[in-house]
Amino acid sequence: AQKITQTQPGMFVQEKEAVTLDCTYDTSDPSYGLFWYKQPSSGEMIFLIYQGSYDQQNATEGRYSLNFQKARKSANLVISASQLGDSAMYFCAMRENSGYSTLTFGKGTMLLVSP
C-alpha cells in the first residue's frame, strides 16, 4: 500500500491566488514527520515545511502552511499569494520514527502559476 498519496497530478492557479496541494499518508507508527519539498525543473529538491505527528498547531513558513488533520491522515500544503516562481513539482514526504533519515515520497503534484 502506498504510504504517501498525492491525488492531483497537476494544478493550475493564477498569480496572487492561494492554492492547496493535497497529501494523505498511511503509517502505523505513532511518531512521524511530514514534509513538503519543491522541485523546480533544475531538479534540486528544496525543503519547504515540516510537521510532527505530535504537533498541536499547523506549521507555517512564510507563504507556506501545512493543514494537518491527523484523524484524516492528511497533510495538505497551502501556498498563499502564488507567485510565478512557485511553478514546480511539489512532493509530500514522510519520515517514520523507525526509519532513520529515510523519506518516503508521494508521486508529486505539478503546479503551474499563470500571470
Partner 1 sequence: KAGVTQTPRYLIKTRGQQVTLSCSPISGHRSVSWYQQTPGQGLQFLFEYFSETQRNKGNFPGRFSGRQFSNSRSEMNVSTLELGDSALYLCASSSTTGGLLYEQYFGPGTRLTVT
> Which set of grid coordinates corresponds to residue 42?
533544475
- Residues 73, 25: contact at Cβ < 8 Å? yes
Q: Quick check: helix, strand or coil at residue 85?
A: helix
Residue 96 Cβ vs partner 1, minimum distance, rounded to whole Å: 8
64 lines the binding site for partner 1 (CB under 8 A): no
The nearer residue to partner 1, 59 or 82, going by C-beta atoms, is: 59
Residues 66-105, interacting with partner 1 (CB under 8 A) = 91, 93, 95-97, 99-105
Number of C-beta neighbours around residue 114 at 10 A: 11
Q: Using CB under 8 A, pick the residue from 1, 30, 41, 43 that binds partner 1.
A: 43
- Ramachandran area for residue 3 (φ above 0: left; ψ -120 to 50: alpha; else beta): alpha
- Residues 12, 112: contact at Cβ < 8 Å? yes
The nearer residue to partner 1, 82 or 95, going by C-beta atoms, is: 95
Residues that bind partner 1 (CB under 8 A): 31-33, 37, 42-47, 50, 52-53, 91, 93, 95-97, 99-108
